[in-house]
Amino acid sequence: MEEITLEILKQAPFGYAYHKIILNESGIPVDYVFLDVNTAFEQMTGLKKENILGKKLTEILPGIKEDSFDWIGFYGYIALNGGKREFSQYSKELNRYYKITALSPKKYHFVTFFQDITAEMEKIKQLEEQQKIISKLTIELDTIFNSTHDAIFLVKVENGEFRYIRNNKAHQELTGFSLDMIKDKTPVEVAGKELGKILESDYKRCLETGAAITYEETLKMPAGEKVWLTSLTPVFVNGSIKYIVGSRKDITLQKKAEKEKEELLNRYQAMFNEHTAIMLIIEPFTGKILDANPAACSFYGYTKEELLKMHIQDINMLPKEEVEKKRLMALQKKQKYFVFPHRLKSGEIRLVDVYSAPINFGDKKVLFSIIFDVTEREELKRKLNEEKELLSITLRSIGDGVVATDSMGRIILMNKVAQEISGWNENEVAGLPFGEIFCLINEETGEKVESPIEKVLKSGKIIGLANHTALVTKDNRKISIADSAAPITDEKGNIFGVIMVFRDVSKEREWQEKILYLSNHDTLTGLYSRRYMEEKLKSFEQRKTSFAIIMADVNGLKLANDVFGHEEGDDLLKKAAEAIKESCRKEDVIARWGGDEFLILLPETNLKAAQEITEKIKDKCKEKSTKNLQLSMALGCSIKKSPEEKLEKVIKEAEEMMYRQKLNDSKSYRKSIINTLLATLFAKSTETKEHAERLQNCCINIGRDMGLSPKEIDELSLLAVLHDIGKVGIPEEILKKPSALSEPEWEEMKKHPEVGCRIAQNTPELVQIAEYILCHHERWDGKGYPKGLKGEEIPLLCRILAVVDAYDAMISDRPYRKALTREEAIAEIKKNAGTQFDPNIVEIFLKVLKKCTAGS
C-alpha cells in the first residue's frame, strides 16, 4: 500500500517533498535534509532531484536564512510537534509564490505539498493596484467636483424624465439645495411647479440640440435671487443621451458691475466732452489719437476730425523713439506723469504736463491722457533752478565748510569742504538732524556745546561759535573750528532753515602757536628770546620783588665760526644753553640775550645763591665740548637790592662783572685755544710736534745767521710752530689721504692759510704773524697761493719758512710716499731755487744745514 501511495505522490500534479529535520545540541532545528521529491516539485522549484537528495537546505539554497520567512523554524516545529499546517508564502530564493501544506508522518520528519500560485498572486497584486488607482481617481474627481467654484449638478435622463443624481458643494451653497433635497427628484419636485417647468424646458432644449448650450437666466432659489450663467452638456451612452451635466456661475455681481460700468461710461463721456481740461485718448503702440475732447481741439487749434487723423508724435516735439518709449512706460504703469513740448497748429511750442493711465476702451487697452499747459510754470521753474544752481555752486565753491538745514534742523545740504572736514558724505546725512551728525565740544573741557542750529532756530539771530570749539568728525578726530550760523528767512522774515559756515582753524592755531613760540623763543637754542625776557623783566620790576640777574658770554664763538664754520659755532651755543639749563632751577627764566650772550633771571634769589648757580654753570661747561672746542663762558651776576632800584642798573652791573671776568680769563683761554687747536692739528693730520720743533730750531738758526732782530726771530719762531694752524678747518680725510688729492680736494686744502690767518687775527698774541701765516705758501716765481705774490713781495719770514718746511717735509714719511734721503732732499731744494724758493735763502739754508750736520 505504501508503494502505491508513493507512486501516486510521484505522479501527482502538485509538488511533493519529504524531509528530515536537523537539530543542534540544544534540540533546536537548524536545518533539514531532502529525502525525496516528485517531478512536479522539480518543475515548480527548478531544483533537480539528483542535485538535492541527501543534502541540507542551506547547502542547496545558501541565502535561505536571509529570507523574511523562517522556513527551518516553521518546519522544525511541525516535525517535532506533529500536526498539519496550510499556508501561502513567497520564497525570495526561488522568486515564486507557493501554497504549501506541511505535516509530520513521524517525529523528526515532515512532508510538504506545493502548489505554484505565482500567477494567481500576480493577478491579485494587479487587481489591488488597479483598485488603488480607481480609489485615487474617485477621490481626485470628487475633490475636483467639490472644489470648483462653479455650481455643478448631474441630471439623469430616463424615458423623457429628468431626475437629479447629485450636486457639488458650490451648488449647495449658492442655490440653497442640499444633496438630500434633490437626489432622485425631478425639477418640479425640487423647485416647485413654476420654477421646475422652466428648468425642465432648458433640459429639453439640451436634448433637442444634442449639444452643449450656454445661457443667462435669473432664478429665485432658497439662497436668494441670482443671475446665472448656465451651461448644459449632454452625456451620450451607446448613442443616446443618458445624462446632463449642468454648470452654473453666479454672475449677479458681474451684471451689476456691467450696469455700473455703462453708467460710468456715460458719465465719463459727459465729463470728457464738457471738462475744460485737455483730454486725449491714444492707441499706446501706434500713438494714434483715438479721441479728443473740445478743450483739446481748442488748445491745439485743430478740429476733432483733424486730430483723429493724427498721431501724438505729430504734436510731441521729442524724438519718435522717445515718445514711443514714454507711451509704453505709461501703458505698463511704470510712469504716469510726463512733461512734454507740444506744438500747436499755429507752430507755437508749449510745455505741458501729461498724466497718462491705461484704461479699457471697448475691447482693448488705450492711454487716457489729461494735459495741462504749464509753459509759464516751467519757465519760472527754469529761472528758479538757475538761481538755485547758482546758489548751490556758490555754496559748494566757498572755501569754508557750509551746512544748510530745514526749519526742523535736518540737513539738506553740505558742500565739499564740510564733507572733507567732518568725514561725512552728503548722501549719508541728508534728512538727518544736525545734532545727530555734528557733535561740537569745548576743546578745553571736552563738554558738549549746544548746537548752533538749535540756537538760531530758537532766537532767529546770527550765532557765532565760541572760542575753543572743536568738531568731532565721523572717525572720532577733533578738529578746531570757527565761524557762525545764521537763519535762512523769506521776504516776511519767516525762518525756513539755518546755514552754518565754518572752517578748520587747526592749522591757523598751529601757526599762531608756532609764531608765538618763535616770537618768544630763540630758534637755535630753544631758550626764551630777548623780546620775551624784556617783557618778563618789566613784569618783575612792576612787582617790586627782589631778583638776581646772571649775564653769560660764550668765549671763542667768533673763532669757532671763522675756523670751523657757523655749524660748529651753533653747536657751541647749543652746548652753552644746555649747560645753563642743567644748572638753573625750574623757576628761573633763561634767554639768549645776544649773539653769544645769555641772560638769566632768578626770582627771589640772593647773591650767594646766584653765585652758586654761576659756579654750577662753569662746572657744567667743563663737561660740555663740541667736536673741536672746549666750552668756556664768562659769567657775571647782580642783585636787585631794593624795589626802587632800576632794572637797567642791575643788568649793567651783571654785564660789567661778566666783561671783567672775560678780560681776566681771556689770555689763559686764548692760550688754551691755541694748545687745543695745535693738539687737534697734530691729531687729524700728518703734522707732528717734533716737525714743528725742528722747523722752529732751523728757522731760528737761519734768522740769526741772517742777522734778524730779536722781535723778527721771535715772530719767525712762532710762525714755524703755527703756520699750518689753519689745517684744523680742513676735513681729516683730505689731510690723511694716502694718495694724490683730486682737484676739488686740493682747492679745499689751499684754504688753510686763510683759515690760519683768521685764527691769528682773533688772537691778540698772534696778530703780528697773521699776515705771515696767510703768505707761507707763496712761491718765488709767483705761482703760489692764496695771493700769487712774487719775489720780494713775499714777506722774508715766509720765504725762510718755505725752504725749511719743504726740506723737513721731504725727509719725513708721508701717507702718499716714503721719506727722501738728505742728499735727495738737498738736490730737490737746489733744483727749485729761483722758482719755488728765494735763491739767497736757499744758499743760507744750505750753509746752516752744513754747520748743523758738522756739529752733530
Residue 799 phi, psi (nearest 5): -70, -35
Give the closest residue to 219 by CA, choosing from 243, 241, 187, 242.
Answer: 187
Alpha-carbon span 560 to 669, nearest angstrom: 13
Residue with cell string 508749449: 350
- The arithmetic mean of pLDDT across residues 354-366, rounded, is 84
Question: For 189, what's the count of Cα atoms within 13 Å in the CB-facing half-sphere?
Answer: 11
Residue 290 phi, psi (nearest 5): -90, -30
- The arithmetic mean of pLDDT across residues 832-850, rounded, is 89
Q: Which residues pair with 440 in a beta bridge?
A: 471
Give the closest residue to 276 by CA, choosing from 354, 357, 372.
Answer: 372
In order, the DSSP letters of 110-146 are EEEEEEE-HHHHHHHHHHHHHHHHHHHHHHHHHHHHH
- Per-residue pLDDT for 212 more than 80? yes
Alpha-carbon span 649 to 630, nearest angstrom: 32
pLDDT band at 655 (very low <50, low <70, confident <90, very high): confident
Give the closest residue to 352 by CA, choosing from 325, 390, 387, 326.
Answer: 326
The pLDDT tens digits for 382-434 are: 887 776 676 666 666 666 888 888 888 898 888 888 888 888 888 888 889 88
- The arithmetic mean of pLDDT across residues 252-267, rounded, is 80
The predicted pLDDT at position 797 comes to 92
The pLDDT tens digits for 784-806 are: 999 999 999 999 999 999 998 88
R_g of the chain, CA atoms, integer Å? 65
- The arithmetic mean of pLDDT across residues 682-710, rounded, is 79
| Model confidence, pTM | 0.39
- The arithmetic mean of pLDDT across residues 307-318, rounded, is 91
Burial class (CB in 10 A: 0-12, 13-18, 19+), 539: exposed
Alpha-carbon span 74 to 89, nearest angstrom: 12
pLDDT band at 507 (very low <50, low <70, confident <90, very high): confident
Alpha-carbon span 282 to 273, nearest angstrom: 16
Alpha-carbon span 360 to 367, nearest angstrom: 9
The predicted pLDDT at position 135 comes to 60
What percent of the chain lies above the pLDDT cut of 70? 90
Give the closest residue to 436 by CA, choosing from 448, 444, 446.
Answer: 448
Q: Under a CB-based contact definition with an 8 Å cutoff, are residues 189 and 180 in contact?
A: no
- The arithmetic mean of pLDDT across residues 744-773, rounded, is 84
- Per-residue pLDDT for 140 more than 70? no
The predicted pLDDT at position 28 comes to 92
In order, the DSSP letters of 339-407 are EEEEE-TTS-EEEEEEEEEEEEETTEEEEEEEEEE-HHHHHHHHHHHHHHHHHHHHHHHSSSEEEEEET
Render the burial of 515-528: b for 16+ CB within 10 Å, e for the rest: eeeeeebbeebebb
Q: Under a CB-based contact definition with an 8 Å cutoff, are residues 409 and 435 in contact?
A: yes
Q: Under a CB-based contact definition with an 8 Å cutoff, are residues 418 and 506 in contact?
A: no
Amino acid found at 461: K
Alpha-carbon span 200 to 214, nearest angstrom: 15
- The arithmetic mean of pLDDT across residues 832-849, rounded, is 90
What percent of the chain lies above the pLDDT cut of 90? 14
Is the pLDDT higher at 297 or at 486? 297
- The arithmetic mean of pLDDT across residues 52-68, rounded, is 87
Mean pLDDT score of the chain: 84
SS3 state at 274: helix
Other CB atoms closer than 10 Å to residue 433's CB: what's the count?
16
Residue with cell string 483723429: 308
- Per-residue pLDDT for 856 more than 60? no
pLDDT band at 182 (very low <50, low <70, confident <90, very high): confident
The pLDDT tens digits for 144-170 are: 567 777 888 899 998 889 999 888 888
- Per-residue pLDDT for 666 more than 60? no
Alpha-carbon span 628 to 569, nearest angstrom: 10
Amino acid found at 644: E
- Per-residue pLDDT for 476 more than 50? yes
Per the omega criterion (within 30 degrees of 0), is the bond before 105 cis? no
- The arithmetic mean of pLDDT across residues 450-479, rounded, is 82
Alpha-carbon span 50 to 37, nearest angstrom: 10
Give the closest residue to 526 by CA, choosing from 517, 539, 535.
Answer: 517
- Per-residue pLDDT for 367 more than 70? yes
What is the DSSP-derived secondary structure letter of residue 297?
H
In order, the DSSP letters of 668-717 are HHHHHHHHHHHHHHHHHSS--HHHHHHHHHHHHHHHHHHT--HHHHHHHH
Q: Under a CB-based contact definition with an 8 Å cutoff, are residues 228 and 220 in contact?
A: no
Least confident among 332-336, 350-354, 559-563, 615-619? 559-563
- Per-residue pLDDT for 854 more than 50? no
Other CB atoms closer than 10 Å to residue 306's CB: what's the count?
14
